């Protein structure tokens, strides 16, 4: 969809959420692809970069927002571009409609529990049975606060509220489908930004793993790629988030038709799987944080592994890590960008590395 002046978000140019909404579709996708090609060139990595696969507007299912009460009114939204000023979000062409409606309702109702000058952080995730809401900031647990939450939770479609890491209200346990497995996600767990993007990444990863039958899923989270891999191979899932792995394991117990899955709580940035450990597998998928996985990449380079599928949300750290893998004898395959971060200067990629 090419933008017109009337279709631009009224906050565009002020809100820091969208940078490139004013570009026509062809220019926009080319600029997104350039983020990847420039990063690879900077690290002297030669690879074919595919055209960007777009994701539709109004599709983001999770959001981290800020809220502030000032002059008896609550503002909720993103910070302004290169600013700490909060932009009160009255429109959004990124969020799922249900998520945006919840934000609009929170604007009014949070004013009843916040004091003037209070600033809090909100994490919202759209689950199958409602919205999971986490709040962090100067708001204490109390019967009054809990009662206020209970008054409006059903009206806003909220099924769970946590406050500063503690459960404050549970109307119903959140449920979420990943591939063909249902899980109960822990509060504030990492999820792929969009459902459509998640499905596309899963397809690319599944194809990239080829005929591997013993797979290590590194930085697995709650199982974005574990479950699709386990449909045909045994999987060892590793992550530092214990709660996410417990949700993953519970999903495996209740899932059907999955090969064996084991889980290991481990900080891969500080204690990566060593080469000898990696040699037990014939395929690896890794989806690290924005900083990349340099320590783990060093072990992958030193191992006997012949197939690695790398999912990245940061072209800079990906290109750095790719250079190390290529130097160790891996050939880099097609780099496929997927635009999960609409109108921003972020882009997701999936790439398969192989060696003889």
What is the rounded CA–CA span in Å between residue 218 and residue 103?
A: 34
Helices (H), 114-167: 143-156
Residues β-bridged to residue 73: 70
What is the rounded CA–CA span in Å between residue 194 and residue 86?
A: 24
Task: With beta carbons less than 8 A apart as the criterion, state whether 117 and 129 touch.
Answer: no
What is the rounded CA–CA span in Å between residue 63 and residue 125?
A: 7
Task: With beta carbons less than 8 A apart as the criterion, state whether 220 and 226 touch.
Answer: yes
What is the rounded CA–CA span in Å between residue 295 and residue 135?
A: 33
What is the rounded CA–CA span in Å between residue 67 and residue 70?
A: 10
Other Cβ atoms within 10 Å of 268 Cβ, number: 20
Report helix angle 143-156 to 97-109, nearest 10: 140
Task: With beta carbons less than 8 A apart as the criterion, state whether 239 and 220 touch.
Answer: yes
What is the rounded CA–CA span in Å between residue 245 and residue 124?
A: 20
What is the rounded CA–CA span in Å between residue 303 and residue 129?
A: 43
Residue 49 exposure: Cα atoms within 13 Å on the Cβ side: 23
Q: Which of 102, 222, 263, 313 is catalytic?
A: 313
Tell whether the torsion through CA atoms of 105, 111, 116 and 118 is positive or negative.
negative
Tokens in use for 65?
């927002």
Mark whether 313 is an active-site residue. Answer: yes
Catalytic residue list: 313
């Amino acid at each position: 969809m090419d933008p017109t002046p009337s279709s631009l978000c009224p906050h565009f140019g002020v809100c820091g959420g969208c940078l490139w909404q004013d570009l026509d579709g062809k220019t926009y996708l080319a600029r997104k692809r350039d983020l990847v090609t420039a990063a690879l060139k900077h690290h002297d990595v030669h690879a074919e970069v595919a055209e960007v696969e777009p994701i539709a507007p109004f599709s983001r299912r999770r959001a981290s927002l800020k809220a502030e009460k000032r002059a008896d009114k609550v503002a909720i939204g993103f910070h302004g571009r290169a600013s700490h000023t909060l932009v009160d979000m009255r429109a959004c062409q990124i969020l799922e409609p249900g998520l945006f409606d919840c934000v609009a309702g929170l604007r009014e109702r949070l004013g009843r529990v916040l004091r003037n000058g209070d600033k809090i952080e909100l994490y919202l995730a759209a689950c199958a049975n409602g919205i999971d809401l986490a709040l962090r900031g100067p708001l204490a647990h109390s019967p009054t606060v809990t009662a206020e939450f209970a008054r409006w939770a059903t009206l806003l479609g909220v099924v769970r509220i946590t406050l500063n890491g503690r459960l404050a209200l549970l109307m119903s346990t959140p449920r979420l489908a990943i591939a063909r497995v249902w899980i109960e996600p822990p509060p504030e767990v990492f999820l792929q930004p969009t459902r459509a993007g998640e499905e596309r990444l899963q397809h690319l990863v599944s194809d990239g793993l080829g005929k591997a039958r013993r797979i290590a899923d590194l930085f697995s989270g709650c199982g974005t790629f574990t479950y699709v891999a386990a449909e045909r191979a045994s999987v060892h899932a590793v992550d530092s988030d214990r709660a996410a792995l417990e949700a993953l394991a519970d999903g495996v117990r209740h899932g059907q038709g999955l090969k064996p899955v084991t889980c290991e709580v481990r900080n891969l940035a500080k204690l990566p799987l060593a080469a000898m450990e990696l040699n037990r597998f014939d395929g690896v998928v890794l989806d690290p944080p924005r900083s990349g996985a340099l320590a783990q990449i060093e072990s992958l380079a030193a191992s006997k592994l012949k197939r690695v599928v790398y999912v990245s949300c940061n072209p800079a750290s990906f290109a750095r890590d790719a250079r190390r893998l290529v130097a160790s004898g891996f050939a880099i395959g097609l780099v496929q960008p997927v635009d999960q971060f609409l109108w921003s200067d972020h882009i997701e990629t999936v790439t398969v590395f192989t060696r003889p």
